[in-house]
Amino acid sequence: MSKRDYYEVLNLSRNASEAEIKQSYRRLAMKFHPDRNPGDQVAEEKFKEAKEAYEVLNDSRKRAAYDQFGHAAVDGSAGGSGFGGAADLGDIFGGVFRDIFGGGMRGGAQSYRGADLQYTLDLTLEEAVFGITTKIRVPTLVSCATCAGSGAKPGTKPTTCPTCRGMGQVRMQQGFFSIQQACPRCQGRGSVIPEPCETCQGSGRVEEQKTLSVKVPAGVDNGDRIRLAGEGEAGEHGGPPGDLYVQIRVKPHPIFTREDSNLYCEVPIGFATAALGGDLEVPTLDGRLTLKIPPETQTNKVFRLRGKGVKPVRGGATGDLLCRVVVETPVNLTREQKELLQKLADSMEPGGIRHTPQQGSWLDGVKKFFEDMKF
């Protein structure tokens, strides 16, 4: 069967850098590693394929030969398509997988970095704009206090695994290929626990509700994340803990909406105020302000209050508050009020064009529309 192009295997361009090669291999190795896919033959083959491609492309001499002559130049030099060849665990696992799993070999046993966690924190608009320090409770896995994370009953300790003799790995011969994999007895730890801890049942970790203090900086918005390093799950087999990511979610506000650094609000005004003008008190997040409404203000007119918006969390100028006025038609009028309005309407110029210019322009447009339709 013909082999796939190594660049295609790692999803790389032919001018990929060493860092890009390593990063791509890390991703594939994490996804298809046999320890993460027990019994999955397809994943194992993809792991072997990715490892073979990495061993060639990560070696400048082999890569140059491969670029010029293809697979014929490197067949037999890439570990025989297995994962127990010349560039064995000391090179590949000790280098790449140490970065992936956050620990590497520990006394012959593989340690694993704890999982990252995410917590959604609901904030009011005011809390997001001005910042807040709050406490959260997060369910997580922490190191067992009874056994100090060892998994062994107090007074005892783990012993060296007799199957792998503490290496955490066993080598199996399959025809021409020598395959190295996690020890099936100790699952890669390199040790076994004759008497498990009764608290954690030998896992070294227990579930716990952890209370943390979170300082939310001023100006955060929906979707922003705050990283609390080392506050995720405890690592397995003594590995380092993961991180906790606090996801910000801002609740809807009854008055304001936010877009980037600007705030928006809708301000209803009466018919008389819109026609004659006047002063109107409007809210801001840090107090009240008087908005001067000029005479003959039309609905949807926007007034900008500079600097009354949000100071962005990543820096930059403070936004503005934009108030859009909506002229409200009076309702529940008395007979006297209706008569007064009728007198006002009668007193206006016939057609109303001078007093209602938008209506006049619209009527002119309608008239022209019907005239254009005549044949």
pLDDT higher than 70, residue 310: yes
- Whether residues 323 and 246 share a domain: the answer is no
- Contact between 309 and 218 under an 8 Å Cβ cutoff? The reply is no
- Whether residues 198 and 215 share a domain: the answer is yes
Give residue 344's domain range.
Answer: 337-375
pTM as predicted: 0.57
Tens-digit pLDDT profile for residues 8-24: 899 988 888 888 898 88
- Whether residues 233 and 111 share a domain: the answer is yes
Q: In what order do the strands lie in the sheet with 321-328?
A: 257-259, 262-270, 321-328, 302-305
Report the distance separating Cα 67 and Cα 41, nearest Å.
Answer: 30
CATH of the domain at 268: 2.60.260.20
- Among 251, 273, 290, residue at a domain's last position: 251
pLDDT higher than 50, residue 277: yes
pLDDT of residue 187: 73
Quote the DSSP letter at residue 301: -
Higher pLDDT, 72 or 162: 162
Cβ neighbours, 10 Å, residue 245:
16
Tens-digit pLDDT profile for residues 245-268: 999 999 999 999 999 999 999 999
Which of 40-49, 138-147, 192-201, 342-351 has the weakest average pLDDT? 342-351
Higher pLDDT, 180 or 175: 180
- Whether residues 123 and 208 share a domain: the answer is yes
Q: Is residue 127 part of a domain?
A: yes
The total of structural domains in the chain comes to 4
* Residue 215: φ, ψ to 5°: -95, 110
